[in-house]
Amino acid sequence: MLLAVLLPFIIAIFIPLLSKWKNEFHTGFVATAVPVVIFIYFVQFLGAGFEPVTQEYSWVPSLDMNLVFHLDGLSLLFVLLISGIGSLVAFYSIYYLHKSEQLGHFYVYFLLFMGSMLGVVLSDNVFVLYTFWEFTSLSSFLLIGFWNYREASRYGALKSMLITVFGGLSLLGGLVFLSVITNTTSIQEMLSQQELILNHEFFPLILGFILLGAFTKSAQFPFHIWLPDAMEAPTPVSAYLHSATMVKAGIFLVARFSPMLSSSEWFFIIVSTVGIATLCWGSYMAVRQTDLKAILAFSTISQLGMIMAMLGFGTEIAIFAAVFHILNHATFKGSLFMVAGIVDHETGTRDIRKLGGLMTFLPITATLAIFGTFSMAGVPLPFLNGFYSKEFFFDASLHLESATSGLAGVLQTLIPYLAVFGSIFTFVYSMYFFFGTFRGQADIKKLPKKPHEAPVGMLISPIVLVAGVIIIGLFPSLINKPFIEHAASAVGGTTITEDIYFWHGIIPPFIMSIAVLVFGTILYLTRTKWQAVYRAVPGKLSLNKFYDGLVDRTENYSVIVTNGYMNGSLGRYVRLILSAILIVTFSVMAFTGGFSMEFNNLSEVTIPESIIAALMIVAAVGASIANKRIAAILILGVVGYGLAMLFVLYRAPDLALTQFIIETVTVALFLLVFRHLPDLEVRKDSVLTNSLNLVLSIGFGLLLTMIAISAHSNKLFNSISSYFVDNSYKLGGGDNIVNVILVDFRGLDTLFEIAVLGIAAMAIYSLIRLGRKKEE
Amino acid sequence: MEQTLEVTRAFVNIAAVISIIGVSISVLLLLYRVLFGPSNPDRILAVDGLGVNVMGLAGILAILLVTNQLNDVILLIGILLFIGTIALAKFIEKGVIIDRDMD
C-alpha cells in the first residue's frame, strides 16, 4: 500500500521531464496511467468477504509517527473513488487542456493532490493524516491558481487556502488533544478508547476542533464560500477536487471519527444542523447562479451538506445512506462538471443566460446531462442512483433515534421539513441546469464559437460516469454487499446491512419524493416570478462580503497597529523597551516579595566617597541638561573620573587605571566625530513625551537601585573570592589577584573580550574604508 | 618608639583629611567652572584642573590607605591629562585632532 500512496509522488518527480516532449506526446497519458494502476490494485480488495488490512512502515518511530495504512470499507470506498475518478479526470484533461498550457505544472499538482488524498483516506496515524491533509490544501491551492495570470484565480486560490488551512490547523489541535489523551497516535486505537475521550473534560474542544477542520474542508455553512471561487480552476480540477474527492475529505474525517464522537448529543446537534443548513442554503443559492460551474459548486455544497447531515443523524440507515450518497454524488457530479466543461469548450461560454437549445448541437452531451441532472434531483426513476440515496435520506430524516426533548428534540421535528425544502430547490436547479442549457431557443449568433459535438476522447469519461449512474441505478445490490455495506459498517462501528429497493410502496419517504417533484416543477416553471426573493434574502448580506471585509480589515488594522508603534523613532523604541522592562520586572519583584531591605551588614560611609558621589551626581545632572555637545562630553568626563576615583577609594587600582584610560579615549573619540555631527538641538518634544521620559528614567533608576539593595540584602551564599585570594599565588603564580583571574582562572572571558575589541576595530576600519570608496 | 609612631600616624591622618577637604573644595569650584564656564576653553582648563586635583586626591588616598599600589594611577592621570588637554586644545583650535596626511 505504501507504493500505491507514493506512486503519484514518485511519478510527479518525472512529470517535468516528460512535459518537455509534450508536443509529441501529451503528458496526461502518463498521469492517467498512475490512477489506473492504483485503481486496479485496490479493486482487488473488493468483495463480500472483505477484511480490513493494516500495514505499517516506519517513519519517525521515536515520536510514534509511522506510516500506518489502514484499509477498511470506508477507506476502500474513498480510495476507489479517488483512483477511479482520478483516472477519468486525467483522461478527460488530455482533451480538455491544450498542449500550449503548462502541462508539466498541471500534472505535477494533480498527482501531488492524488497522492496526498490517498494518504488522507488510508492513514491510520493522526499526524500522517494531518500531513497529507495539508498537502491536499496546498495542491488544491496550486490547482485553483493554475491560470495564475488571472486575478480571479489568484483570489480564489488564496481564499480556499486561508479557509482550509485555518480548518486544518484547528484539526491539528484536535488531533494533538486526542493523541495526548489516549496516549496513542493510531485512529483505530483511539476509537477503542471511546469512553475515555467522551468523559474527558476536553471533549467539547476535541469535538469543536475536529468538526471545524471537517466543515472548512467540506465547504459547510458558513465556510462554503471558498468553493464557488475555486471554480476558477480548470474544469477537470473542479470535477475532481471540488466535487468528488477533496471536499469529501471533511466528510471522510467525520465518518472516520463518528464511531467515537457520535455518542455525544452535541455531535448530533452540530453536525445535523450544519449539514441541513448547508443543504438548504446551498440549494437555495444554486438557483440564483448564472454560471454553469457556479450552479454545480453550490450544488456540491448542498449535497455535501446532505451527506454531513446524514452522518450527524448517526442512525444505521442514515450512515448507510450517507456512504451510498458519497458514491452516487461522485458519479453524477463528476459527469456534470465534465459536461459543463464540454459546453464551455464547445461554445466558449458558461453563462447559462447565453446558452440554450444546445440539444441538437451536442446530442451526446445532452444525453449525459439528462442522466446526471435527473439523478442529482432525485427523480424517481429506477435507473438513477440519486433517487435511492435521496429516498434513504428522507427515510433517515424521519427515523431519528435521539432524544425527544431540548434542542435535539426541536431539531428532530424540523429536519424532515428542511430536508424536503432543500430537495425542492435541488430539483429546481437541476432542471434549470439541464433545460437552461440544452432546451429552449437556440441563439447561436450570441455564442463566441459555433457549437458542435465534443471529441470522442472528451466524452469517454462522462460516459463512463453516467454508465456508473445507470448501473448503480439498475442493479443497486451489485455494489451493495461487496462495497457499500463494508463502508457503512466501518463508519457505524457495527455491521450495517440495508437492502436497496426501488419500490417500497406508498410510504412517507416516497410521498416526500413526490412532493419534491410536484413543488419543484411548480417552482421551476414559475422561476422568473419569484426570482425577486433573492433580493430580499440574502439581499446585501453576503458571507463573501464578510470574508472580504475581514481580510481587508485585518490588513488595514495590522497596518495601523504596526504603524502605531513602529514609527522609526528610536526614542519611542527605547521608551517601549524600558517600560516593558520596568513593568515586568517591577511586577515580578513586587508580587514575589523580591524587594527586601536590610541594613545590618553595611559598611561605614566616609567623607571622601560622599564628596565624590556628590560630585558625580552634580556632573550627571549637569550632563543631562547641558545644551552643547562639547560641554556635555566634558561634564560626562567628570563623571568618568569620579568613577575612577571611586575605584581608587575601593582599592581597585587596575580598574581605576583602565577607567582613566578609557574615559580619556572616549572623550578623544567623541572629539573625533564631533566635526561630523550637527549641533545639539533643543528637542521640541511634547510635554507628554518629556514627562514620560522623566518618569521612565526616574522609574528605571529607582528600579535598579531597589534591585541592587535587594540583591545586597539577600545574600544566600558566601562569596567564592576567598578561593582566589588563597590560590592566586599558589596556583596562578601571581600576586595581582585581578590579573591572575583575568588571564588564568577565567582566561576564556578575556580571550573573547579581546575578540570583541578586534571585531570592533575591524568594523570601524571597514566602515571608514567602505564609506570612502562609496564617495569616490 | 611605638608611641611616636602612633602619634605620627594620627598626625598624618588628620593632615590627610584636611587636605582632602581642601582638595574637595577646589574640586567643587572647578566643577562649577565645568558646568557653567561661559566658554569651552574655560571648561577644558577646569577639567585639566580637576585632573590635577584628582591626582592629588589619589596621592592623599594612598597615604590614608597606606598603599603604594596607586602610584601607577597617579602617573597615568598625569600622562592622560596632558594628552587629553592637548587633544581638546587642538580640537578647539583646528577642529580636528589628527591631521590627515598632506598628499
| DSSP for A308-359, written as a single string | HHHHHH--HHHHHHHHHHHHHHHHHHHHHHHHHHHHHHHHS--BTTT---GG
Q: Tell me what pLDDT residue A774 has.
A: 55
Q: Name the closest residue on chain A to residue B28, using Cα atoms.
A: A615
Q: In this complex, do B76 and A661 lie within 8 Å of one another by their Cβ atoms?
A: yes
Q: Tell me what pLDDT residue A503 has.
A: 65
Q: Which chain B residues touch A635 with a CB distance below 8 Å?
A: 34-35, 43
DSSP string, A24-50: TS-THHHHHHHHHHHHHHHHTT-STT-
User: pLDDT per residue over A358-380, tens digit each?
Assistant: 888 888 888 888 888 888 888 88
Of residues A607, A656, A668, nearest to B73 (C-beta): A656
Mean pLDDT calculated for residue range A631-640: 82
Of residues A657, A667, A671, nearest to B76 (C-beta): A657
Scan residues 36-75 of B and list those with Cβ closer than 8 Å to A.
Answer: 37, 40, 43-44, 47, 50-51, 54, 57-58, 61, 64-65, 67, 69-70, 72-73
pLDDT surpassing 90 at residue A99: no
Angle between the N-to-C axes of helices A126-144 and A151-182, in degrees from 0 to 180, rounded to the nearest 10: 180
For chain A, which residues lie within 8 Å of any Cβ of chain B, measuring from their own Cβ? Answer: 607-608, 611, 615, 618-619, 622, 626, 628, 630-631, 634-635, 637-638, 641, 644-645, 648-649, 651, 653, 656-657, 660-661, 664, 667-668, 671-672, 674-675
pLDDT grade for A539, boundaries at 50, 70 and 90 = low
Checking phi first, is residue A378 left (phi over 0); if not, alpha (psi -120 to 50) or beta?
A: left
Q: How many CA atoms, within 13 angstroms, populate the side-chain half-sphere of residue A153? A: 16
DSSP string, A564-612: HH-SS-HHHHHHHHHHHHHHHHHHHHHHTT------TTPPPP-HHHHHH
pLDDT grade for A773, boundaries at 50, 70 and 90 = low
Other Cβ atoms closer than 10 A to A626: 19
User: pLDDT per residue over A569-625, tens digit each?
Assistant: 888 888 889 999 999 988 988 888 777 777 777 888 887 788 888 888 988 888 888
Tell me how close the Cα of A764 comes to any Cα of chain B, in angstroms.
16
Q: Which residues is A55 bridged to in the sheet?
A: A69
Residues A95 and A458 sit within 8 Å (Cβ to Cβ) = yes
Helix (H, G, I), strand (E, B) or coil at A243: helix
pLDDT grade for A168, boundaries at 50, 70 and 90 = very high
Mean pLDDT calculated for residue range A632-645: 84
Q: Which chain A residues touch B65 with a CB distance below 8 Å?
A: 651
pLDDT grade for A752, boundaries at 50, 70 and 90 = very high
Residues 6+ apart with CB under 8 A from A32: A87, A90, A91, A94
> In terms of Cα–Cα distance, which of A559, A525, A577, A527 is closest to A696?
A577
Tell me how close the Cα of B43 comes to any Cα of chain A, in angstroms.
7
Q: In this complex, do A675 and B95 lie within 8 Å of one another by their Cβ atoms?
A: yes
Cell of A489: 459498517
**Alpha-carbon span A101 to A147, nearest angstrom:** 9
**Alpha-carbon span A728 to A737, nearest angstrom:** 6
User: pLDDT per residue over A252-297, tens digit each?
Assistant: 999 988 888 888 888 888 888 899 889 988 888 888 888 888 888 9
Helix (H, G, I), strand (E, B) or coil at A300: helix
Q: Tell me what pLDDT residue A684 has.
A: 64
**Alpha-carbon span A556 to A172, nearest angstrom:** 29
Mean pLDDT calculated for residue range B20-30: 87
Q: In this complex, do B72 and A653 lie within 8 Å of one another by their Cβ atoms?
A: yes
Of the listed ranges A309-318, A392-401, A520-529, the one predicted with least confidence: A392-401
Q: Tell me what pLDDT residue A396 has.
A: 84
Residues 6+ apart with CB under 8 A from A114: A8, A34, A35, A82, A83, A86
Q: In this complex, do B80 and A661 lie within 8 Å of one another by their Cβ atoms?
A: yes
pLDDT surpassing 80 at residue A676: no
Residue whose grid cell is 429536519: A415
User: pLDDT per residue over A431-471, tens digit each?
Assistant: 888 888 888 777 777 777 777 777 888 888 888 888 888 88
Q: Tell me what pLDDT residue A775 has.
A: 54
pLDDT surpassing 70 at residue A216: yes
Q: Tell me what pLDDT residue A222 has.
A: 85
Averaged confidence pLDDT in chain A: 84
Tell me how close the Cα of B8 comes to any Cα of chain A, in angstroms.
21
DSSP A123: B
What ipTM was reported for this prediction?
Answer: 0.78
**Alpha-carbon span A695 to A579, nearest angstrom:** 10
pLDDT surpassing 80 at residue A534: no
Mean pLDDT calculated for residue range A318-342: 88
pLDDT surpassing 90 at residue A169: yes
Q: In this complex, do A648 and B70 lie within 8 Å of one another by their Cβ atoms?
A: yes
Q: In this complex, do A641 and B51 lie within 8 Å of one another by their Cβ atoms?
A: yes
Mean pLDDT calculated for residue range A382-403: 78
Tell me the CA distances in angstroms from A91 to A246, A337, A457, A646, one per residue in order. Answer: 19, 14, 8, 88
> In terms of Cα–Cα distance, which of A162, A260, A269, A173 is closest to A217?
A162
Give the number of residues written for chain A.
776
Angle at the Cα of A282 from the Cα atoms of A280 and A286, rounded to 5 degrees: 120
pTM of the model: 0.78
Give the residue from A609, A611, A659, A768 with the most B CB atoms within 10 Å of its CB, the best one to mutate: A611
Residues 6+ apart with CB under 8 A from A576: A565
Q: Tell me what pLDDT residue A678 has.
A: 67
User: pLDDT per residue over A113-153, tens digit each?
Assistant: 999 999 999 988 899 999 999 999 999 999 998 888 888 89
> In terms of Cα–Cα distance, which of A90, A115, A109, A108 is closest to A33?
A90
- The sign of the torsion formed by the CA atoms of A732, A733, A736, A739 equals negative
Residue percentage of chain A with pLDDT more than 70: 96
Angle at the Cα of A182 from the Cα atoms of A313 and A61, rounded to 5 degrees: 120
Whether residue B11 lies within 8 A of chain A, CB to CB, comes out as no
Tell me the CA distances in angstroms from A425 to A324, A378, A390, A531, B22, one per residue in order. Answer: 21, 11, 13, 13, 105
pLDDT surpassing 70 at residue A502: no
Q: Tell me what pLDDT residue A193 has.
A: 84
**Alpha-carbon span A401 to A407, nearest angstrom:** 14
Residues A236 and A245 sit within 8 Å (Cβ to Cβ) = no
Give the residue from B33, B48, B57 with the most A CB atoms within 10 Å of its CB, the best one to mutate: B57
**Alpha-carbon span A183 to A177, nearest angstrom:** 10
Q: Tell me what pLDDT residue A537 has.
A: 73
Q: In this complex, do B31 and A637 lie within 8 Å of one another by their Cβ atoms?
A: no
Angle at the Cα of A163 from the Cα atoms of A127 and A150, rounded to 5 degrees: 120
pLDDT surpassing 60 at residue A402: no
Q: Tell me what pLDDT residue A601 has.
A: 74
Burial of A201 (0-12, 13-18, 19+ CB in 10 A): exposed
User: pLDDT per residue over A679-706, tens digit each?
Assistant: 656 566 677 778 888 899 999 999 999 8
Cell of A440: 429552449
Tell me the CA distances in angstroms from A535 to A154, A285, A445, A544, one per residue in order. Answer: 29, 12, 31, 16
pLDDT grade for A166, boundaries at 50, 70 and 90 = very high
Residues A234 and A106 sit within 8 Å (Cβ to Cβ) = yes
A626 φ, ψ to 5°? -65, 145
Other Cβ atoms closer than 10 A to A43: 14
Q: Which chain A residues touch B95 with a CB distance below 8 Å?
A: 675
Q: Which amino acid is at A203?
A: F
Mean pLDDT calculated for residue range A734-739: 86
**Alpha-carbon span A326 to A276, nearest angstrom:** 16
Q: Tell me what pLDDT residue A403 has.
A: 53
User: pLDDT per residue over A542-583, tens digit each?
Assistant: 778 888 888 888 889 999 998 888 888 888 888 889 999 999
Torsion of the alpha carbons at A120, A311, A239 and A12, rounded to the nearest 10: 0
User: pLDDT per residue over B58-97, tens digit each?
Assistant: 888 888 888 887 888 888 888 888 888 888 888 888 777 6
